[in-house]
C-alpha cells in the first residue's frame, strides 16, 4: 500500500503591492442587445415535478428491494379494479419508479406541450424501451400544472452477458420531447401593467445607467431610471391590451454597452480554471517545489521450523522514501494577468491543482485584483 503527496507550494509576495486599475474604456466595454443582458421582472420559468411509473422494461426495472415501485403498481391496478392482496410478494422486473421534472415557460397556456425529464429513483439498471405512464406534475404550491406520458429517448445504453457489461452515459435518465401537456394557465396579465422592471443578468451600476439612458433616448421621454445595480425601472406606461408588448418589442433590440467583471472561476474537483480577460495581479514572486513521499508495504510470511510450537503469520515490511525537487521561481511584474501567471506555472511543470492552490494564496494575500469563485 502506498500513497503520494506532492506539490508543496511556498508563495512569497513582494512588499508594496499596488492594485492595478483597469479602465472600462480600455477593452472591457462590449455591446449587446438589451434582451441579451436583461430579463423582465415577473416573466420567468416555473419548475414542475411529479412521481410516476415507467413500464415495458426488458427485465431491467426495479428489483424486489425497491418496495415503493410495486406499491405504486398495486395502487394503480386497484384503481382499475384489480385487487392484489400482498403487493410485497410481487416479482415484477419490467417497471421502475421515477421522478418526472419539467420547466414551465412563461405565458404557458393549457394545451401547450413541453419537454419532460425522467429519472429513476430505484435500483433499475436501464429505462431503455420504457413508457412513462400518466403522471401529474405539481408546482411549488401543490397545484397540478401538467400531465406527462409517452415513450422516452435515452442518451445511453447498458448491455451485459456472461459476467461482462458495458454502459454508455446514463441509461437511467430519459427524456420525452413534448411529453408534458400543460393543464393550467400561468400567464401574466399585462393589460393593466404601468411599470416594468428590467433585471440585469450581471449587476453593474454603469450598465444600468447606460440602459436607462438608451431606453429614454429611444422613447423620447424620461421614464426609465436605474434603481440599483440590478434593476432598471420603466414607469408611466399607458394601459392597453398591447402597450407593454409593444414597448418591450421596441426596446429589446437596442444596443447597450456593458462591462465584463474581473472574475476567476475555479473548480477544485476537476482542476479547471476559467478567467476573464481583464484580471490583473500585483507584483509577486512564486516559488514552486515538489516533495514526494512514498510509503511501500510488502507482506512477508513468517513460517516456524518443523515440529516447532509456532504459528505461521504475515509480517508487514514497510519502506519509506522521500524525494524533494529543487524549487523553481516565477516573477511577475505589476499589472500581470492571470493568463501570464498560468503560462509561467505551466512552464515549470505545475499541474492544474497546483494552479488552483496558487490562485487561492494570491487572493488571500490581496494581489489578485478580481473576484475568486470556488465551485
CB 278 within 8 A of CB 3: no
| Weakest mean pLDDT among 120-124, 143-147, 248-252, 287-291 | 287-291
User: What gap in Å lies between CA 77 and CA 97, rounded to an integer?
Assistant: 15
- CA-CA distance, 132 to 57, in Å (whole number)? 11
CB-CB neighbours of 188 under 10 Å:
12
Give 133-174 pLDDT, tens digit per residue.
Answer: 999 999 999 999 999 999 998 877 777 666 677 777 788 999
Q: How confident is the model at residue 101, as a pLDDT?
A: 97
CATH code of 29-43+189-259, in short, is 3.30.1360
| 280 strand-pairing partners | 337, 369
CA neighbor of 106 nearest in space, from 159, 16, 43:
43
Per-residue b or e along 109-135, where b marks 16 or more CB atoms closer than 10 Å to that residue's CB: eeeeebebbbebebebbbbbebebbeb
- The better pLDDT of the pair 342, 112 is held by 112
pLDDT(280) > 80: no
368 versus 64: which is more confidently predicted?
Answer: 368
Higher pLDDT pick, 3 / 152: 152
Q: Model confidence at 10, in pLDDT bands (50, 70, 90)?
A: very low
Grid cell digits, residue 326: 529543487
Rounded distance, CA 375 to CA 372, Å?
Answer: 10
Instruction: Quickly tell me which residue has 458495458 as its cell.
Output: 166
Query: What are 42-64's pLDDT values in tens digits?
Result: 888 999 999 999 999 988 888 87
Q: Please give the mean pLDDT across all residues of the chain.
A: 80
Q: Please report, to the nearest 10 degrees, the dihedral formed by the alpha carbons of residues 187, 190, 193, 199 taken in order.
A: 60
Grid coordinates belonging to 98: 421515477
CATH 3.30.1360 domain extents, the chain: 29-43+189-259
Residue 268 and residue 359 in contact, taking contact as beta carbons nearer than 8 Å:
no
Q: Is the pLDDT of residue 340 over 80?
A: no
pLDDT at 210 over 50: yes
Per-residue confidence at 268, pLDDT binned at 50, 70, 90? Answer: confident
- Interatomic CA distance for residues 329 and 100, integer angstroms: 54
Global pTM?
A: 0.68
What is each CA distance from 292 to 108, 121, 144, 346, 360, in whole angstroms? 60, 43, 59, 19, 22
Q: Which of residues 76 and 324 earns the better pLDDT score?
A: 76
C-alpha–C-alpha distance, residues 92 and 99, integer Å: 19
What is the Rg, in whole angstroms, of the alpha carbon atoms belonging to the chain?
Answer: 31
Amino acid at each position: 500500500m502506498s500513497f503520494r503527496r506532492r506539490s508543496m507550494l511556498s508563495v512569497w509576495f513582494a512588499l508594496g503591492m499596488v492594485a492595478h486599475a483597469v479602465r472600462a474604456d480600455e477593452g472591457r466595454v462590449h455591446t449587446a442587445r438589451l434582451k441579451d443582458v436583461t430579463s423582465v421582472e415577473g416573466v420567468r420559468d416555473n419548475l414542475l415535478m411529479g412521481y410516476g411509473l415507467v413500464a415495458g422494461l426488458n427485465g431491467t426495472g426495479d428489483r424486489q428491494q425497491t418496495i415503493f415501485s410495486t406499491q405504486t403498481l398495486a395502487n394503480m391496478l386497484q384503481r382499475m379494479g384489480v385487487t392484489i392482496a400482498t403487493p410485497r410478494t410481487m416479482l415484477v422486473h419490467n417497471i421502475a419508479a421515477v421522478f418526472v421534472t419539467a420547466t414551465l415557460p412563461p405565458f404557458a397556456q393549457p394545451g401547450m406541450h413541453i419537454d419532460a425529464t425522467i429519472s429513476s429513483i430505484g435500483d433499475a439498471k436501464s429505462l431503455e424501451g420504457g413508457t412513462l405512464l400518466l403522471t401529474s406534475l405539481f408546482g411549488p404550491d401543490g397545484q397540478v400544472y401538467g400531465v406527462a406520458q409517452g415513450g422516452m429517448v435515452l442518451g445511453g445504453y447498458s448491455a451485459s452477458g456472461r459476467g461482462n457489461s458495458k454502459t454508455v452515459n446514463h441509461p437511467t435518465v430519459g427524456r420525452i420531447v413534448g411529453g408534458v401537456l400543460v393543464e393550467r394557465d400561468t400567464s401574466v396579465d399585462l393589460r393593466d401593467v404601468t411599470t416594468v422592471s428590467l433585471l440585469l443578468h450581471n449587476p453593474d451600476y454603469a450598465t444600468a445607467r447606460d440602459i436607462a439612458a438608451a431606453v429614454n433616448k429611444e422613447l423620447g421621454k424620461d421614464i426609465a431610471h436605474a434603481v440599483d445595480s440590478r434593476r432598471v425601472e420603466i414607469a408611466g406606461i399607458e394601459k392597453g391590451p398591447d402597450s407593454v408588448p409593444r414597448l418591450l418589442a421596441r426596446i429589446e433590440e437596442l444596443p447597450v454597452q456593458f462591462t465584463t467583471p474581473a472574475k476567476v472561476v475555479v473548480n477544485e474537483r476537476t482542476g479547471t480554471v476559467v478567467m476573464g480577460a481583464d484580471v490583473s495581479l500585483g507584483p509577486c514572486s512564486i516559488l514552486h517545489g515538489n516533495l514526494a513521499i512514498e510509503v511501500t508495504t510488502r507482506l512477508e510470511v513468517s513460517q516456524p521450523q518443523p515440529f516447532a510450537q509456532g504459528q505461521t503469520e504475515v509480517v508487514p515490511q514497510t519502506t519509506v522514501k522521500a524525494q524533494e525537487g529543487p524549487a523553481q521561481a516565477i516573477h511577475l511584474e505589476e499589472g500581470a494577468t492571470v493568463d501570464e501567471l498560468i503560462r509561467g506555472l505551466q512552464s515549470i511543470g505545475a499541474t492544474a491543482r497546483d494552479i488552483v492552490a496558487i490562485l487561492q494564496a494570491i487572493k488571500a494575500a490581496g494581489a489578485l485584483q478580481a473576484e475568486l469563485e470556488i465551485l
